[in-house]
Amino acid sequence: MFEKLKETVLKYEEITERLNNPGTADDSKLYMELLKEQGKLSPVVESYRSYEENEKAISDAEEMVKTEEDPELKALAKEELNDALKRRPELEKELKLLLIPKDADDDRNVIIEIRAGAGGEEAALFASSLYRMYVKYAEKNGFSVETTDVEDTGIGGFKFVSFMINGKGAYSKLKYESGVHRVQRVPETESGGRIHTSTATVAIMPEATEIEVSIDPNDCRIDVFRASGNGGQCVNTTDSAVRLTHIPTGIVISCQDEKSQIKNKAKAFKVLRAKLYELNKEKAHAEEASLRKSQVGTGDRSEKIRTYNFPQSRMTDHRIGLTLYSLEKIMEGDLDQVIEPLTGADVAERLAALDTDS
């Protein structure tokens, strides 16, 4: 760990020296890049300098305890030594946390897809409940929600729903939601009162920019059609809905939420960029032979991550062994009680990995 810290300090000093060079300011792009990099390294350097100052205080106090003959000064040195020793683990933990690489996607907007899994109509109703839960959570955090596509069942269930949650840090909050969500409850359609088990799959993708993911228009086929809905709802008299097919990957995106074909097309391309960005990330991770399998995970859609047991008002996250008996609040969007322990477990894993490497 300390080798990494020394390298960081050297890099910071080199950048500072370059910024102080009068010629650097002539290249505004380079100057801004260096300034941004300096800003990223600054908290680590400041924390490391505080740690070094504390270590020097320990060394000086220890020496004074050994050599000082005056009882009062000796007692004062012991007190300073104890204070500095108490600060040491706090400063070490702070340094470790700062050294954990920040997820570059954390500040992004997020695109969520929910698909009904095993369980027929009850699975579709559960998918609808999950959608409502995430919308409620977004509202509590001041995020905005844009639905892009819905395939409903006509009685309140969703076979599939795709939507965007816009707000700084949305991805950092919701990135651990990818996977299979299982529900155990008595369906409204069940006359015998038997508990059914159903599933829905949640996919979480960070929004990507046009610069990061360039899409060749020749690789896409765009079809327009008339938006539809049950009971005559959301039925347009013009071909405003858009179906976007990315020929190289076979990815198909439908968007019919907006009455404008142009807006639906723009949303479809946003979703496509996110999917292609996610594919590139998965490919990069697969190629990294040394990548550790995370207990928390952020991308395995086949992994059963959570069970919602309605009769017992219990939610269990299987990745970290978290069990909460406040299911009603969770389904109303009170997800922080789930997300915060998941984030904490991920940080603990990364700290452990840092200790192994150092």
Extents of the domains making up the chain: 2-99, 110-287+296-347
pTM above threshold 0.95: no
Q: 258-274, pLDDT tens digit by residue? A: 778 888 888 888 898 89
**Mean confidence (pLDDT) of the chain:** 85
pLDDT of the residue at 139: 96
Nearest by Cα to 265 from 243, 296, 235: 243
Q: 104-161, pLDDT tens digit by residue? A: 788 899 999 999 998 889 999 999 999 999 999 999 999 999 988 898 888 889 999 9
* Structure token pair of residue 281: 């990330």
Q: pLDDT tier at 234 (50, 70, 90 boundaries)?
A: very low
Q: 58-111, pLDDT tens digit by residue? A: 999 999 999 988 889 999 999 999 999 999 999 988 888 787 777 778 889 999
pLDDT of the residue at 97: 78
Instruction: Please name the residues in contact with 234: beta carbons below 8 A apart, sequence gap of 6 or more.
Output: 227, 228, 256
Fold classification of 110-287+296-347 is Alpha-Beta Plaits (3.30.70)
pLDDT of the residue at 235: 46
How many other CB atoms sit within 10 Å of the CB of residue 98? Answer: 17
Task: Please say if the pLDDT value at position 329 is more than 80.
Answer: yes
- Are the beta carbons of 278 and 205 closer than 8 angstroms? yes
